[in-house]
C-alpha cells in the first residue's frame, strides 16, 4: 500500500457520498425531450410492431453514434416508432419512472410532434397519450411532469403556426391532456435559421396563454438569443451557450434572472462542443450570476440521468453539496410552477438537503 492510499481512499469515499446524496436530492428538470428518454428495448418492441427495420438487432448497439448526424438519425428513428396513442402513453410512463429513480420530482418535458403531424397523426392523440402515461407514472412515483410542445425548425414557420393553432383549439376545447401542456418552445437545427421567422407562431402561442421558451445559442450567436427573448417573447432559453460571448447580454440576463436550461453532458456527448466536462462554461455562467440550471436533454440516448448530471458536474466544477442544492433550488425558480407549489417544492428540497448533507 502506498503512503498516499488513505488520502485517495478518503477522497473516493467523499466523492461517492456526495454522488449518493445528489442522486437522492429532489430535483427539477426543465430541458428534457420525452422522445430522448425512450428505452432502447422499447424502441425495438415498437419498431417490431410497426414493421420498422432497425440498423442493428443488438439493443446495446442502438444508442451508439460518433457524430451529431448519427445521433439525429437515431432520434428520428425513435420518433418514427411512435404510431398510436398507446405508444405515446408507454413513452410517457416509462420516462417518468426512469427519471424518478434518480431524484426527479418535477419536470417540464418537451415533445416535438412535427413529423407525426406531417404524417397525419392527430395532435390530440399525441397529447392525450402522453398525459395518460404521465398520470399513471405520477400515481406510482409522485413525480409530477408537465409538457412543452416544441416547434421543429426543420419543418418551417408555417408548420409551427399550424401546430400552435391546433394547440389553441385543443386548449379551448379542454381536450384530454391539455392541462399538462404549459408552454410552446422550438428545437432542431439552429444553423442558418433566423429565430425571428417564427415570430407569428410565438405571438399566437402567447395569445393562447402558453408560456414561451426556445432552444437557442447551442450553435447560434448571442444575437439569436436576444432575438428569441426580445422579438419572440421567450421567458427562458434552452442551452444558451453562446450567451457568455456577449458580456452586456450576460449582465442583462443576470439582472433580469432570465433562466437558461443548460445540459453540460449532452453538449459533450451529442454536440461535441467541448473536449471534456471541465471545459464547459456552466461554472462561468453561474459565476456571472446567471440563472443557469442543470438538465439531461436526451438521457436515454446518451446514457445519462439527472443524478449523474448533478454528481458529474459537482466533480468536474469543484462544487460542494450546498452549491448543488442552490442549483436545485434555482431549477424551481426557473420553472413555471405556480407560486404556492414553487414555495412548497423549495421547502421540500431544503428539508431533504438537511437530511442528506454528507459529513
Which one of 218, 235, 309, 341 is the catalytic residue? 218
State which H helix or E strand residue 28 sits in.
strand 27-29
Cell 436515454 belongs to 300
Of 111, 129, 243, nearest in space to 182 by CA:
111
C-alpha neighbours within 13 Å on the C-beta side of residue 45? 8
Average pLDDT value over all residues in the chain: 95
At residue 275, the 3 state secondary structure works out as coil
Among 160, 265, 176, 173, residue whose Cα is nearest residue 214: 160
Q: What does residue 32 show for φ and ψ, rounded to 5 degrees?
A: -150, 125
Backbone angles phi, psi at 354, to 5 degrees: -60, -35
pLDDT tens per residue, range 249-301: 999 999 999 999 999 999 999 888 899 999 999 999 999 999 999 999 999 99
- Cβ-proximal residues to 105 (8 Å cutoff; 6+ apart), any chain: 26, 27, 28, 142, 143, 144, 345, 348
What is the per-residue pLDDT for 1?
A: 43
Rounded Cα gap, residues 103 and 99, in angstroms:
7
End-to-end alpha-carbon separation of the chain, Å?
26
The whole model's pTM is what?
Answer: 0.96
Q: Would the pLDDT of 110 be above 90?
A: yes
260 by DSSP, 3-state: which?
strand
Predicted confidence at residue 58, as pLDDT, reads 86
Backbone angles phi, psi at 22, to 5 degrees: -70, -30
Quick check: 3 pLDDT over 60? no
CATH of domain 26-356: 3.20.20.140
Question: Which 3 state secondary structure label does DSSP give 338?
Answer: coil
Q: pLDDT band at 69, cuts 50/70/90?
A: confident
Residue 244 in this model has a pLDDT that exceeds 50 = yes
Q: Average pLDDT of 200-215?
A: 98
pLDDT band of 68, cuts 50, 70, 90:
confident
Residue 218 designated active-site: yes
Given this model, what pLDDT does residue 6 score?
Answer: 65
pLDDT at 4: 54
Dump pLDDT digits (tens) for 138-152: 999 999 999 999 999
CA dihedral 209, 192, 266, 181 (to 10 degrees): 10
Amino acid at each position: 500500500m502506498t503512503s498516499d492510499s488513505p488520502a485517495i481512499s478518503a477522497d473516493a469515499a467523499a466523492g461517492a457520498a456526495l454522488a449518493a446524496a445528489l442522486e437522492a436530492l429532489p430535483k427539477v428538470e426543465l430541458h428534457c425531450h420525452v422522445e430522448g428518454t425512450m428505452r432502447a428495448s422499447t424502441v425495438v418492441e415498437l419498431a417490431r410492431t410497426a414493421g420498422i427495420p432497425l440498423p442493428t438487432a443488438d439493443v446495446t448497439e442502438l444508442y451508439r453514434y460518433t457524430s451529431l448526424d448519427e445521433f439525429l438519425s437515431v432520434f428520428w428513428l425513435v420518433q418514427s416508432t411512435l404510431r398510436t396513442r398507446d405508444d405515446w402513453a408507454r413513452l410517457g410512463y416509462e420516462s417518468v419512472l426512469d427519471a424518478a429513480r434518480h431524484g426527479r420530482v418535477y419536470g417540464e418535458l418537451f415533445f416535438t410532434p412535427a413529423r407525426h403531424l406531417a404524417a397525419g397523426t392527430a395532435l390530440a392523440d399525441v397529447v392525450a397519450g402522453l398525459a395518460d402515461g404521465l398520470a399513471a407514472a405520477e400515481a406510482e412515483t409522485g413525480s409530477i411532469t408537465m409538457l412543452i410542445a416544441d416547434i421543429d425548425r426543420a419543418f418551417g414557420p408555417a408548420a409551427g403556426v399550424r401546430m400552435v393553432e391546433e394547440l389553441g383549439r385543443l386548449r379551448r376545447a379542454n381536450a384530454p391532456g391539455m392541462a399538462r401542456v404549459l408552454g410552446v418552445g422550438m428545437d432542431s437545427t439552429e444553423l442558418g435559421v433566423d429565430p425571428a421567422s417564427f415570430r407569428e407562431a410565438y405571438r399566437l402561442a402567447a395569445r393562447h396563454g402558453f408560456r414561451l421558451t426556445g432552444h437557442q445559442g447551442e450553435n447560434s450567436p448571442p444575437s439569436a438569443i436576444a432575438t428569441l427573448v426580445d422579438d419572440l417573447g421567450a421567458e427562458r432559453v434552452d442551452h444558451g451557450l453562446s450567451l457568455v460571448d456577449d458580456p452586456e447580454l450576460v449582465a442583462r440576463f443576470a439582472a433580469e434572472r432570465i433562466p437558461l436550461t443548460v445540459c453540460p453532458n449532452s453538449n459533450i456527448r451529442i454536440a461535441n462542443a467541448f473536449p471534456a466536462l471541465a471545459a464547459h462554461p456552466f461554472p462561468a455562467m453561474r459565476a456571472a450570476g446567471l440563472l443557469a440550471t442543470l438538465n439531461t436533454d436526451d438521457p436515454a440516448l446518451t446514457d445519462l440521468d439527472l443524478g449523474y448530471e448533478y454528481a458529474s458536474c459537482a466533480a468536474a466544477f469543484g462544487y460542494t453539496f450546498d452549491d448543488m442544492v442552490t442549483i436545485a433550488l434555482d431549477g424551481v425558480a426557473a420553472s413555471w410552477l405556480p407560486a404556492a407549489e414553487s414555495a412548497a417544492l423549495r421547502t421540500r428540497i431544503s428539508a431533504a438537503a438537511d437530511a442528506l448533507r454528507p459529513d
